[in-house]
Amino acid sequence: MSNLPSERIKTLGLELPPAPPPAGLYKPIMVIDNFLYVSGQGPMLSDGSLMKGRAGYDIDLEQAKLGARQVGLTMLSTIETHFGSVDKIKRIVKTLGMVNSAPDFGDQPLVINGFSELMAEIFGPDNGVGVRSAVGMILPGGISVEIEAMFELY
């Protein structure tokens, strides 16, 4: 398998959805020094719709985890659209994963693994794993997962 993230995306047959337009007054990405910050992303599908649902209420752990993986694809699309090639990324540094969850649902870290596993597939087992938080909350528009991240650039 190639070492370039863009080639891994192709090899894995991943389809990136369209990059979502900002849903408020913020920048989708920001570069400061050699760090790329990505605003919170939702699970955008290829048709432009968003995956919705609340873990432990109307979607289960696996559906929520798929939502987190889809957020990863959405984030890669946002990076390519607003920054350029994902091949300029050295590693993921930090992830904040927010899961739309019922009050008694406690598996937010397992949900966010959907995102983290995708990043490890794309950037490798070392550079694709960073520090992380996973929390439960109510999310805008009923989306199932929202994730923001910070990457180190070459």
Residue 23: band (very low, low, confident or very high) from pLDDT cuts 50, 70, 90: confident
At 14 the pLDDT is 97
Q: What is the pLDDT of residues 108-153, one digit of tens each?
A: 999 999 999 999 999 999 999 999 999 999 999 999 999 999 999 9
CATH of the domain at 108: 3.30.1330.40
Domain that holds residue 67: 5-153
Q: What is the pLDDT of residues 51-93, one digit of tens each?
A: 999 999 999 999 999 999 999 999 999 999 999 999 999 999 9
**DSSP state for residue 54 in the 8-state scheme:** -
- Dist CA 85 CA 88 (whole Å): 6
* Total domains present in the chain: 1
H/E stretch holding 75: helix 61-82
User: pTM for this one?
Assistant: 0.96
From edge to edge, which strands make up the β-sheet containing 145-153?
Answer: 29-32, 35-41, 145-153, 89-100, 131-137
